[in-house]
Amino acid sequence: MLDLTYEAPKPKIIAGAKHDWELVIGMEVHAQVSSNAKLFSGASTAFGAEPNSNVAFVDSAMPGMLPVINEYCVEQAVRTGLGLKADINLVSAFDRKNYFYPDLPQGYQISQLYHPIVGEGEVLVELGDGTARMVRIERIHMEQDAGKSIHDMDPHMSFVDLNRTGVCLMEIVSRPDIRGPEEAAAYIAKLRQIMRYLGTCDGNMQNGNLRADVNVSVCLPGQYEKYQDTQDFSHLGTRCEIKNMNSMRFIQQAIDYEAKRQIAILEAGGEIDQETRLYDPDKGETRSMRSKEEAHDYRYFPDPDLMPLEIEQAWVDDIAAKLPELPDDKKARFVRDFELSDYDASVLTAEVESAAFFEKAAEGRDGKLAANWVINELFGRLKKEDHDITESPVSPEQLGGIVDLITKGDISGKIAKDLFEIVYTEGGDPAEIVEKREMKQVTDTGAIESAVDEVIAANPAQVEKAKQNPKLAGWFVGQVMKATGGKANPKSVNEIVQAKLGL
Amino acid sequence: MSIDESTAAKVAKLARIKVEDDDLPALAAEFNTILGFIEQLGEVDVDGVEPMVSVTPMRLKRRVDEVTDGKMPDKVMSNAPDAREGFFAVPKVVE
């Protein structure tokens, strides 16, 4: 079973001019559902298509068009909820959120305000220092994405592309349980990891497929504990919402800036206005989106075009039964079955593809050794060329083959690195390459002994020095290794050198 | 619930409908008539009655996840007052 014992991290303390402050953060993460077609139309969700080509009349809000729900999007939302150990609501409903913007042809976004499909859940967010935060999920609801406005193609006009209009988003709303910028980034990373394992969102932040609104407030030490005891928000400070962030780095910078801005206002005797703000990465600051405030009256009401969404418990159970192994479980299993360190298991399970690669390469072999080779050699080499694991020219079977040769003592660690390079650049079966290119380690002590004898005979001066200073024996080992093309077993060489020099 | 002139002005603004100040009293009065009519529903006793969303036993219609629509940018753009390079073009809006 999953080991849930963990120590919670300390909240980030920010020193003000007068006293210390603590951060309180809640997040609304918008994750684009991986599906072929949109939430309510049959148009494609493919990224990068010609402008306005993935648009049905439902998406462009032509009069008389009616939305028909894509049941796979519903399934994906349920799957995500199950992955976050959340309650699934068998009855949910759609509401209209009304506002005007050129990239929203309907004049409203279909969302789920009153009856979301997923209720309360939780995510364990591990931090680098061995601590972990349990972040509560308040809800997940489905909604339509808006189109895309482009403001820099013309000095006087904004251009609108409706390809993204109507694509299904999941909005994942957390409780204010996040206590620092690093935790905020780790929380998004964990959600991304879980959704990539589930196959419900590709997590591509650059394309905007995963983005977050971050609610930030500050409070005096002690206040947050009062909130947690009572769940009464009045113990916390007034929050500001930083909209639409799609970079982990910028999220952290924006939180830092926003906290300091709020502290400066409060320490000067001012009050925080609850408002929506935008982060400007060039200037490194957040600024108010006042224009958005005025239109904040969304006049939600149930969408009369859509019946409530009723799903069957049996269907949910079926999705639950087919859930893949989740990151926390996989990591715990790697630690247990392959005796990996917590750190190595985290690295290997970060991406589902890496975990699958490792598992194949380690099957029936020394897990720790296989992990070292996957993490240090393969990941290192891939990173150098900016490739990810799916682009690896070395297969798990090939890497496993190299590990076998090391375990059998056929090749030394050093030769193994040369062999890895050959397999990486040229391909081929590792055992065959070792055989053909005569890379096998020399374990025959007779051969090593004669090589040592030769080196000793050729360097009488060094022999004298080594007898005075035994540390110089290493020089002989090096010479023998060189003479044998690195194929001698270094341990045997060392022993024989020591013996022959009489050290 | 009663709608005064400033509420009427706000509703008009949110709906992006231009209403002259002179017309606001009449608009507010019309809203009140409509709301008054609907409020008659409040007289019905619905204690113990499940909320009903349809008078026929219907279930939400569903679709399979297949691309069956789109690929008609010309038709989609045909009503656009202004279009450039395949985009709808609107007066500049920047946050």
Q: Are A279 and A256 in contact (CB under 8 A)?
A: no
- Residue A121: Cβ-neighbour burial (10 angstroms; 0-12, 13-18, 19+): buried
Q: Which residues contact B83 (CB under 8 A, 6 or more apart)?
A: B77, B89
Look at residue B20 and give its three-state secondary structure: coil
Q: Are A96 and A109 in contact (CB under 8 A)?
A: yes
Nearest to A264 by CA among A11, A10, A26, A14: A14
What mean pLDDT is reported for chain B?
A: 91
Q: Are A196 and A327 in contact (CB under 8 A)?
A: no
CATH topology of domain A445-501: Arc Repressor Mutant, subunit A (1.10.10)
| B86 vs A contacts (CB less than 8 Å) | 50-53, 161
CA of A36, closest CA in chain B: separation in Å? Answer: 6
Question: In the prediction, which pLDDT does A294 show?
Answer: 57
Q: Which residue has the tokens 């630690």?
A: A335
What is the C-alpha separation between A82 and A2, in angstroms, rounded? Answer: 16
CB-nearest to B69 from A43, A155, A158 is A43
Helix, strand, coil share (%) of chain B residues, nearest 5: 40, 10, 50
- pLDDT confidence bin for A295, thresholds 50/70/90: low
pLDDT tens string B14-65: 888 999 999 999 999 999 999 999 999 999 999 998 888 788 888 899 999 9
Domain limits of chain A?
A: 16-297, 325-436, 445-501
Buried b (16+ CB within 10 A) or exposed e, A126-141: bbeeeebbebebbbbb
Question: In the prediction, which pLDDT does A91 show?
Answer: 96
pLDDT tens string A476-496: 888 888 888 777 888 888 888
Q: Which residues pair with A171 in a beta bridge?
A: A30, A141
Q: Does B69 touch chain A (CB under 8 A)?
A: yes
Q: Which residues pair with A139 in a beta bridge?
A: A173
Pick among A38, A47, A52 to test the B interface (most B CBs inside 10 A): A52
Name the residue type at position A349.
T
Question: In the prediction, which pLDDT does A148 show?
Answer: 94
Look at residue A225 and give its three-state secondary structure: helix
Q: Does B89 touch chain A (CB under 8 A)?
A: yes
Rounded to the nearest 5°, which phi and psi values hold at A125?
A: -105, 110
Q: Does A4 touch chain B (CB under 8 A)?
A: no
Q: Which residue has the tokens 């010479």?
A: A479
Mean per-residue pLDDT for A179-184? 97
What is the C-alpha separation between A448 and A455, in angstroms, rounded? Answer: 11
What is the C-alpha separation between A237 and A223, in angstroms, rounded? Answer: 9
| B72 vs A contacts (CB less than 8 Å) | 53, 55
Cβ <8 Å between B64 and A310? no
pTM: 0.87
Question: In the prediction, which pLDDT does A293 show?
Answer: 55
Q: Does B55 touch chain A (CB under 8 A)?
A: no
Helix (H) or strand (E) holding A244: strand A240-245
Percent of all residues in chain A with a pLDDT value above 70, rounded to a whole number? 97
CB-nearest to A158 from B59, B69, B93 is B93
Mean per-residue pLDDT for A77-102? 96
C-alpha Rg value of chain A to the nearest Å: 30
CB-nearest to B90 from A73, A158, A297 is A158
What is the C-alpha separation between A233 and A223, in angstroms, rounded? Answer: 10
Mean per-residue pLDDT for A304-323? 97
Percent of all residues in chain A with a pLDDT value above 90, rounded to a whole number? 78
| B62 vs A contacts (CB less than 8 Å) | 68-71, 74
Residue A314 predicted with pLDDT over 90? yes
Q: Which residue has the tokens 């006293």?
A: A19
- CA dihedral for A349, A350, A355, A357, sign (positive or negative): negative
CA atoms within 13 A on the CB side of A220: 6
What is the C-alpha separation between A70 and A57, in angstroms, rounded? Answer: 16
Q: Which residue has the tokens 């206040």?
A: A223
- Six token digits for residue A2: 């999953």
| B60 vs A contacts (CB less than 8 Å) | 69, 306-310
CB-nearest to A36 from B65, B77, B88 is B65
Nearest to A138 by CA among A152, A123, A128: A123
Mean per-residue pLDDT for A251-271? 96
Look at residue A140 and give its three-state secondary structure: strand
pLDDT tens string A194-252: 999 999 999 999 999 999 999 999 999 999 999 999 999 999 999 999 999 999 999 99
CA angle A42, A48, A52 (to 5 degrees): 55
CA of A389, closest CA in chain B: separation in Å? Answer: 29
What is the C-alpha separation between A13 and A32, in angstroms, rounded? Answer: 34
- Asked which of A30-39, A264-273, A366-375, B10-19 is least confident by mean pLDDT, the reply is B10-19
What is the C-alpha separation between B8 and B17, in angstroms, rounded? Answer: 11
Question: In the prediction, which pLDDT does A1 show?
Answer: 39
DSSP symbol at A153: S
Nearest to A398 by CA among A379, A370, A375, A376: A370
CB-nearest to A149 from B65, B73, B93 is B93
Question: In the prediction, which pLDDT does A444 show?
Answer: 74
